[in-house]
């Protein structure tokens, strides 16, 4: 069996690395990895692949820095060339990026079976490009690997029970990865107090909205009076904050860090505050309460079970949620497959 895996962003490589390590256990499976280059990442050097135990891509397409249409179109063309050359049995895609969509479209037109990992997720916000990508990829896939019961329910509500598409609850490969990388984690080179909050802010809905950004940072500054807040900040977000004159003096601002350093910070923090989708889950994997600086989340089971609270960008709500801290502390619940997702996915493909 030959599988071509399409990837375009560093988080996708980390997730795919987990499945690739499982695939490597089977002599009868060959995996060819295609990196579209969608998200240019200076951290993704040879050292990155070595330290993360991830196989290096067989193809690098170097398509980035373009609008949605140009980027997806160029990816579609280049991926099709790879598929015609490699003639795989399966194309495997992850999540909801333009790379995911382009890979799926190319495979579909060539009548190659598609496996979509992280299928069935919905934010129900059609203004998000990711939401459009998710819906389209699910519909043209052959098998959908869903991380949660909620994802299965979403597909059922959309009529997938009546379609010739196999739906499997696989669990979440991110939990497999978190368990694998915990032992490899590295302490970042910054001043860290004994008790601290890990915070990340990067979503455009927050960074591109001055009112939301100001409310979030006013709340963070208030909380930072009693507990250190460590905030790895992307240069773009840092520039926006500087241009707006937003005060961040009370916060510990650090440069963007690698995944192994991030795992260390999650493992050792008291709490996570974020607008990231992935970090919400990682907080759960490492048994940390999470305050989510968004109005909605794809990971509703974390909210429903009391591990995560949605606060939007409301200063008073952020502060009161932190002060009250009414979180569920019993993390002994199987929401994401308990680290067996990759095994399930590979076994299903062999079937």
Q: Residue 68 has what DSSP assignment?
A: H
196 DSSP β-pair partners? 228
pLDDT of residue 135: 98
pLDDT of residue 43: 66
User: What residues are annotated to the active site?
Assistant: 202
**Fold equal for 2-172+337-350 and 196-324:** yes
pLDDT digits (tens, 9 = 90+) for 91-115: 999 999 999 999 999 999 999 999 9
CA angle 232, 237, 238 (to 5 degrees): 70
Give residue 258's region: left, alpha or beta (phi > 0; psi -120 to 50). Answer: beta
The closest of 63, 302, 54 to 45, measured between CA atoms, is 54
Radius of gyration of the chain (CA): 20
pLDDT band (50, 70, 90) for residue 344: very high
Q: Select from 2.102.10.10, 3.20.20.60, 3.40.50.2000, 3.40.50.20 the CATH code of 196-324.
A: 3.40.50.2000
d(CA 51, CA 83): 29
Alpha carbon 320 to chain centroid distance?
A: 28
180 DSSP β-pair partners? none
pLDDT band (50, 70, 90) for residue 268: very high
Q: Where are the alpha helices (DSSP H) in 148-299?
A: 149-157, 173-182, 204-207, 210-223, 235-244, 259-268, 277-285
Q: Residue 270 has what DSSP assignment?
A: S
pLDDT digits (tens, 9 = 90+) for 207-229: 999 999 999 999 999 999 999 99
Spell out the domain ranges in the chain. 2-172+337-350, 196-324
Q: Which residue has the tokens 């497959």?
A: 337
Q: Report domain 2-172+337-350's class.
A: alpha beta
| Cα atoms in the 13 Å half-sphere on the side-chain side of 61 | 29
pLDDT digits (tens, 9 = 90+) for 43-74: 677 888 998 999 999 999 999 989 999 999 99
pLDDT of residue 42: 66
pLDDT digits (tens, 9 = 90+) for 130-183: 999 999 999 999 999 999 999 999 999 999 999 999 999 999 999 999 999 999
Helix (H/G/I), strand (E/B), else coil: 309: strand
d(CA 36, CA 8): 5
Per-residue CA distances from 311 to 17, 126, 272, 275 (Å): 33, 21, 13, 10
């Amino acid at each position: 069996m030959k599988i071509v895996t399409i990837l375009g962003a560093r988080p996708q490589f980390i997730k795919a690395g987990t499945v690739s390590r499982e695939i490597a256990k089977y002599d009868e499976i060959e995996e060819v990895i295609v990196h579209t280059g969608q998200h240019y990442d200076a951290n993704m050097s040879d050292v990155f692949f070595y330290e993360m135990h991830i196989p290096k891509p067989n193809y690098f397409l170097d398509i980035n820095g373009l609008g949605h249409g140009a980027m997806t179109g160029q990816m579609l063309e280049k991926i099709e060339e790879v598929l015609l050359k490699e003639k795989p049995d399966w194309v495997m895609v992850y999540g909801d990026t333009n790379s995911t969509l382009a890979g799926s479209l190319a495979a579909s037109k060539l009548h190659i079976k598609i496996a979509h990992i992280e299928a069935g997720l919905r934010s129900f916000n059609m203004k998000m490009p990711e939401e459009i990508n998710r819906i389209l990829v699910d519909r043209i896939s052959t098998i959908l690997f869903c991380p949660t019961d909620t994802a299965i329910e979403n597909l059922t509500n959309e009529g997938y029970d009546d379609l010739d598409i196999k739906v499997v609850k696989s669990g979440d490969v991110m939990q497999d990865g978190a368990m694998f990388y915990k032992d490899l984690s590295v302490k970042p080179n910054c001043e860290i107090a004994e008790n601290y909050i890990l915070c990340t802010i990067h979503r455009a809905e927050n960074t591109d909205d001055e009112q939301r950004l100001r409310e979030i940072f006013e709340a963070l500054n208030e909380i930072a009076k009693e507990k250190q807040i460590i905030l790895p900040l992307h240069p773009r977000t840092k520039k926006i904050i500087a241009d707006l004159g937003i005060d961040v003096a009370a916060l510990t601002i650090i440069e963007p860090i690698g995944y192994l350093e991030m795992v260390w910070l999650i493992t050792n923090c008291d709490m996570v505050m974020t607008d990231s989708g992935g970090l919400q889950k990682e907080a759960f994997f490492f048994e940390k309460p999470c305050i989510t600086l968004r109005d909605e989340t794809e990971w509703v089971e974390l909210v429903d079970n009391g591990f995560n609270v949605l606060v939007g960008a409301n200063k008073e709500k952020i502060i009161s949620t932190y002060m009250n801290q009414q979180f569920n502390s019993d993390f002994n619940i199987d929401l994401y497959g308990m680290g067996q997702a990759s095994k399930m996915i590979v076994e299903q493909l062999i079937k």
